[in-house]
Amino acid sequence: QVQLVESGGGLVQPGGSLRLSCAASGRRFSSYAMGWFRQAPGKEREFVAAFEWSGISTYYADSVKGRFTISRDNAKNTVYLQMNSLKPEDTAVYYCAADLFGTRSSVTRKDEYEYWGQGTQVTVSS
């Protein structure tokens, strides 16, 4: 069992930055692929970024490449999402998720993830 708690959301102006954190409880954190997804009002939840379980490879949605960076600290059981050059279209609830032994073939698909956090709101507006 894994519990995930996101933090770091808020209101930011276009062009600004935020760093989201996701703290995980439970064992075997290093065995999980960790992903970030987001959901805007009236839209499907969509993939943002992920690490496969080995922690070696990362994956990004085209819409955030070059602006967002995912990182993880296994010693702290925490995954981060650094978001730079934020745009109004980045406004959404951001969710952290965990997928046991998730790899390249699964980490971009939300249905593959077993555990989810409660989400944190990110609003980009002037």
| pLDDT tens, position by position, 57-85 | 999 999 999 999 999 998 899 999 999 99
| pLDDT value at residue 105 | 83
DSSP annotation of 88 reads G
Q: What sign does the CA torsion over 107, 111, 117, 122 have?
A: positive
Task: Assign 13 to helix, strand or coil.
Answer: coil
For residues 94 and 39, give the distance between their C-alpha atoms in angstroms, rounded to a whole number. 7
Q: What percent of the chain has pLDDT over 70?
A: 100
| pLDDT tens, position by position, 84-112 | 999 999 999 999 999 988 888 889 999 99
| pLDDT value at residue 102 | 83
Q: Quickly state the pLDDT bin for 55 (edges 50, 70, 90).
A: confident
